[in-house]
Chains A and B, each alone.
Chain A
């Protein structure tokens, strides 16, 4: 690793920490500065007396200055001692409980959408302008125009409730019964993948078409390489870079909260659904923890993609250096 590369990585890591710090401050402020969100009043029940509210305020430290409250909250977040306001459960444990569910959903969906996107994108590019290409384009556009929760709800109703092919929702541990685990996840995976398949396949299609016009592809053909070899070795390999980048970013985003709708519709009770429930109760500690958890994944995957790019292409490193 050159010293330029090392400096680039260190700078990216520092800016990552700064971004995470800002995210935590903003979430904290959203729930502390906004009127009517005084947690003590809500925790005290329906018709609280002033003394009850005061007692809760003191017990939970809501009477401290904001920066002290922020510091305590962050400290608890890192030591895993964060406690929910609404049901007094340990937030870290709840997140750990939801994590395998969210990961099962995200990893499976990511594999599905990538495989389909590559197959369909490549096929469209090779059939560019023909009927099958146009048909796939229409399908892709419909895919990116559908709200995932609507698609999920309809799938759950027709394929689950009416036809009874798949379970309408819920989750089974992989260790308990792998087949059931798989069967429960087929619909959530599909619903979550549709948007990304539509999006990625079109990006890949246009990149493949663009690459096919490049000089080095013509050279490869002129050398007498077989069409198959030109396509796989020269065209596809280069056209895959942009969608692999997107893949990294979107995978981070899906773990980091983008799956909240899919989880809610299919009641998978992963991290996203936990966040949705906490938000409904304006329960700050879990929201804080889940948002930080989500931002962490998004920022990590962003940084990995950036560093990988810089490692592959020195110009990016120089550009970052020069624009300071």
Chain B
């Protein structure tokens, strides 16, 4: 079964799992009663061919980026940072400058070396695209996981404990929410890129990927914490929570063993969409100079470098942007399939 393992546990532990959609769609012959909600989701998802294709495309993008060193070492014979300003390549038996005398870089050769052309420093775009994709994907995925972790804890605590905890946490969320997203990200990014960050024994260098990752994780917290809080608020009044309380379970244990499994569908719905938006936000931050710091490549920094030279070499902008759109689009389509399969009524709103 391709369903997440935590789901099987949620079903097995006997906790109640409310899924309005399951009742709605029960007329369907494939939706046999008695199947756990996660297995139902898996079945519905497997019938959603568009979502499956999209998911496969994203996996391919990830695999290609993971294979970056293979391409760099065995096909392109260069590294993402290596300049080839004064080098020449042979195309159709003719020797051509990688970057010509007027500074115009070579376009796609569709050969091993400079497959997608070179940038204005004579660096191989294909190699940078794959290595840059690693950075963009790492930031996107780690940022989204960070958001889920922090947002989940804040939302659960606020919703379960209510009262003063809730007031304080809601105020924190309001503050994050009130910040102009990109302004906050860019301000933090620029300031941290200057001096790095050191909290106690942990020191993060100014050009570390951890900085944009942290910023992105923080910015999206309210988008997740607010719906989780709402669910926790409703779940804490349910009978099974009351039963747990009557058995003498502590509040923290109730939060994590009784409430948490019931908000897990929300987390699964959010994850792909959060990753997609985190990748877009990384690009925006890098475009404004506050994300990944050069010479490290990322799709965002590559687009930023390309836009400055769009008139002489439009492929510098088009190529990384197209790759970014491919990754984000496949995630959005897949994420929508997951949402439809799991909880079609979920209202998910994230912006970049």
Interface residues of A (CB under 8 A from B): 15, 18-20, 22-23, 26-27, 30-31, 34-37, 141-142, 144-150, 153-154, 156-157, 161, 195, 199, 246, 250, 253, 256-258, 260-261, 264-265, 275-276, 279-280, 282, 287, 290-291, 294-295, 298-299, 302, 323-324
Contacts and interface: CB of A to CB of B under 8 A. Distances in A.
Given A30-B188, A147-B324, A302 B307 contact: no
A141 B332 contact: yes
Contacts of B174: 15, 19
A279 B190 contact: yes
B194 interface: yes
A264 B180 CA distance: 16
Nearest to B162: A323
Contacts of B152: none
Nearest to B288: A276
Interface string B197-217: 110000000000000000000
B317 A34 contact: no
B175 A26 contact: yes
Nearest to A254: B180
Nearest to A261: B284
A265 B307 CA distance: 9
Given A19-B175, A153-B307, A264-B288, 18 more contacts: A15-B174, A20-B178, A22-B175, A27-B187, A36-B195, A37-B191, A37-B194, A145-B332, A147-B287, A153-B306, A246-B349, A256-B180, A257-B181, A260-B288, A282-B190, A282-B191, A291-B179, A294-B183
Interface of B: 162, 166-167, 171, 174-175, 177-184, 186-188, 190-192, 194-198, 233, 276, 280, 283-284, 287-290, 300, 303, 306-307, 310-311, 314, 317-318, 321, 324-325, 328-329, 332-333, 336, 349, 351-352
Contacts of A22: 171, 175
A92 to B, nearest CB: 18
B298 to A, nearest CB: 12
A261 B190 contact: no
Contacts of A253: 180-181, 351
Nearest to B321: A150
A154 B191 contact: no
Q: Which 9 A-B pairs have the closest CB atoms?
A: A257-B180, A36-B195, A35-B195, A294-B180, A145-B329, A150-B321, A257-B183, A145-B328, A22-B175
B9 to A, nearest CB: 31
A144 B190 CA distance: 26
Nearest to B328: A145
A269 to B, nearest CB: 15
Contacts of B289: 280
Contact of B183 (A199, A280, A291): A291
B324 A287 contact: no
B317 A276 contact: no
Contacts of B194: 34-37, 282
Contacts of B191: 30-31, 34, 37, 282
Contacts of A27: 187
B178 A31 contact: no
Given A34-B194, A246-B349, A290-B183, A154 B178 contact: no
Nearest to A32: B191
B296 to A, nearest CB: 18
A261 B182 CA distance: 9
A290 to B, nearest CB: 7
Given A144-B332, A147-B324, A161-B311, A279 B290 contact: yes
B325 A34 contact: no
B310 to A, nearest CB: 5
Contact of B179 (A23, A145, A195): A23
A150 B303 contact: yes
Given A36-B195, A280-B190, A23 B303 contact: no
Nearest to A156: B310
A125 to B, nearest CB: 15
Nearest to B233: A323
B317 A279 contact: no
Contacts of B181: 253, 257-258
Contacts of B180: 253, 256-258, 260, 291, 294-295, 298
A280 B288 CA distance: 8
Given A15-B174, A276-B288, A287 B187 contact: yes
B325 A157 contact: no
A149 B307 contact: yes
Contact of A147 (B186, B283, B306, B314): B283
5 contacts: A260-B288, A275-B186, A279-B186, A298-B179, A298-B180
A179 B287 CA distance: 31
